[in-house]
Amino acid sequence: MKMLIAYASTEGQTRRIARFLMDRLADQGHSVELLPVTEAADIDLTRFDRVILAASVHLGHYQKDMGEFAARHGAALDQLPVLFVSVSLAAAGHDAEEWADLDRIVSDFAQATDWHPKKVVQVAGAYRPSEYDIFRRFVMRRIVAAKDPQADPDKDHEYTDWQALGAALDDWLSAKG
Ligand SMILES: Cc1cc2nc3c(=O)[nH]c(=O)nc-3n(C[C@H](O)[C@H](O)[C@H](O)COP(=O)(O)O)c2cc1C
């Protein structure tokens, strides 16, 4: 099958996730085009059999570029099986309130773009103080201290469960859409 993976990534973890998905699809014999969503603005989606969109949560929202892509291509996306990969730190834990927030973030996105993803997978991202500016460091230290009190706030930490992500991809591929 011919697949498109379009992603938005602020600090790089969603790009890593998109590359992981691309490698796994390629290993299964699929042909994959991987693009930052900013470079996919004019793409003709009828060229693809399936699409994966991946974006990460910052202060309760996905990247603006992903919103613009979804708003622009919603009608074409509705004609295809689409997997929406939502990357966040909330998905690294089991806090019911934070998971409810993730549902709300997806539905705000759907309302704002008028494209309603039918299949969403919530994926834990990463904490990378080595790459944050002062503002991000400040926000993230508080989030991580609450979420993972054992974590060293000065050390990068990847929460992504690659095995679970691979299984979610395989499930989606084996389903009709
Ligand atoms: C400034 C900032 C704000 C964030 N806000 C949230 C948030 O509201 N909810 C959440 O679950 N994760 C939040 N995160 C965590 C990111 O979603 C996580 O680090 C993710 O891996 C980032 O993906 P990216 O590297 O592809 O941008 C935030 C991260 C940063 C740096």
Q: CA 131, CA 158: separation in Å to the nearest integer? A: 13
The whole-number average pLDDT for the span 17-32 is 98
The whole-number average pLDDT for the span 132-156 is 90
Pocket test for ligand 1, best of 19, 53, 85, 89 (most atoms within 8 A of CB): 89
Pocket test for ligand 1, best of 13, 15, 16, 57 (most atoms within 8 A of CB): 57
Q: Give pLDDT tens digits for 52-91.
A: 999 999 999 999 999 999 999 999 999 999 999 999 999 9
Q: CA 28, CA 22: separation in Å to the nearest integer? A: 10
Atom of ligand 1 nearest to the CA of 91: 11
Closest C-alpha to ligand 1, atom 16: 88
pLDDT at 79: 97
Pocket test for ligand 1, best of 104, 142, 143 (most atoms within 8 A of CB): 143
**72-92 CB burial, b ≥16 within 10 A, e <16:** bbeebbeeebbbbbbbbbbbb
Q: How far is the CA of 46 from the centre of ligand 1 (A)?
A: 32
Q: Give pLDDT tens digits for 98-141.
A: 999 999 999 999 999 999 999 999 999 999 999 999 999 999 99
Domain extent listing, the chain: 2-125+161-174, 128-159
What average pLDDT does the chain have?
A: 96
**What is the amino acid identity at position 64?**
K
pLDDT at 130: 92
Closest C-alpha to ligand 1, atom 27: 10
Q: At residue 146, does pLDDT exceed 90?
A: no
Q: What percent of the chain has pLDDT over 70?
A: 99
Report the relative pairing of strands 50-56 and 82-88 from DSSP bridges.
parallel
What CATH fold (topology level) applies to the domain 2-125+161-174?
A: Rossmann fold (3.40.50)
At residue 177 the predicted structure's pLDDT band, cuts being 50, 70 and 90, is low
pLDDT at 147: 84
pLDDT at 148: 85
Q: CA 82, CA 5: separation in Å to the nearest integer? A: 10
Q: How far is the CA of 105 from the centre of ligand 1 (A)?
A: 13
Closest C-alpha to ligand 1, atom 1: 136
